[in-house]
Amino acid sequence: MSKKKTKKTLVDQILDKAGIVHDSLEINAIEGKLPEDVVADHIYKTLALVGDKTGPLIGIVPITEHLSEKALAKISGNKKVTMIPQKDLQKTTGYIHGANNPVGIRQKHSFPIYIDQSAMELGEMIVSAGEIGRSIRIDSQTLADFVDVTFADLTVK
């Protein structure tokens, strides 16, 4: 990795304070520009939804896949879940579109968090670090333990 000093995000600071090993990355997946050491199928998007019974909840799936709202509803005990409208996203999660992340959300809210089981199979995953263009690479189980996650099959088949 380059020695360029980058300001740590709040997510980096939270993980450092907890003694959790992770890599800080500068990734602009929207533009398709990935560092050489980043595998695209390890990048996950953090989606904020609302369930008819639970209220807000978080679904995390590979960036190349689509979330199955039906699967998330079933695993979370809801009859139906829907995406939180973009205009309500920041006041619900504390983050703008593209910056939602499980670490920062868990620090402020007790929303249930579900990660697609593919992350467990890969062993590591890349998620947003709370700022556009910034991400963290972290062991999937370590992240799950830290933010109290349930792994489940969440993608559209």
- Residues 98-111: pLDDT tens digits? 999 999 999 999 99
In the chain, what are the domain boundaries?
Answer: 24-30+38-152
Confidence of residue 7 (pLDDT cuts 50, 70, 90): confident
pLDDT digits (tens, 9 = 90+) for 116-127: 999 999 999 999
**Quick one: pLDDT at residue 70?**
97
Q: What CA–CA distance (Å, rounded) separates 61 from 101? A: 12
pTM: 0.92
Instruction: Please give the average per-residue pLDDT across 3-30, as a whole number.
Output: 86
The fourth-level CATH superfamily of domain 24-30+38-152 is YbaK/aminoacyl-tRNA synthetase-associated domain (3.90.960.10)
Q: What percent of the chain has pLDDT above 90?
A: 84
Q: What CA–CA distance (Å, rounded) separates 43 from 148? A: 20
